[in-house]
Amino acid sequence: MIKIKKILVPTDLREQSLAGIKYALSLARDHDAEVLIVHVVDEERITTTVRLPEEEMLFPREWLSMGEGSRCFLDIELKEKRLDLYAFLSGHFDLQELKAGRVTRLVRMGDVAQEIVSVAVEEHCDLIVMASRGQGWLGRILSGSMSEEVARKAPCPVLTIQPSAVVQD
Please report the pLDDT score of residue 56 as a whole number: 47
B/e letters for 55-71, b = 16+ CB within 10 Å, e = fewer, are: eeeeeeeebeeeeeebe
Categorize the per-residue pLDDT at 63 as very low, low, confident or very high, splitting at 50, 70 and 90: very low
3-state SS of the chain: helix, strand, coil percent to 5? 50, 20, 30
Ranked by mean pLDDT, the top range of 58-67, 92-101, 155-164 is: 155-164
pLDDT of 130 above 50: yes
pLDDT above 50 for 80? yes
* Distance of alpha carbon 108 from alpha carbon 36, whole angstroms: 12
Asked if 7 contacts 24 with a C-beta cutoff of 8 angstroms, the reply is yes
Give me the phi and psi of 163, to 5 degrees please: -60, -25
Confidence of residue 60 (pLDDT cuts 50, 70, 90): very low
97 confidence band (pLDDT: 50, 70, 90): confident
| Element holding 118 (H helix, E strand) | helix 112-122
Are 154 and 128 contacting, i.e. CB atoms less than 8 angstroms apart?
A: yes
Residue with the bigger pLDDT between 101 and 17: it is 17
- Confidence tier at 83 by pLDDT (50, 70, 90): very high
115: CB partners within 8 A, 6+ apart: 38, 40, 108, 109
Residue 52 burial by Cβ neighbours in a 10 Å radius (0-12, 13-18, 19+): middle
Q: Region 115-135: what's the mean pLDDT?
A: 91
Binned at pLDDT 50, 70 and 90, residue 140 comes out as very low
- For the cut 60, the answer to whether the pLDDT of residue 139 exceeds it is no
**Which residues are paired to 104 by β-bridges?**
36
Mean pLDDT, rounded, for 20-44 = 90
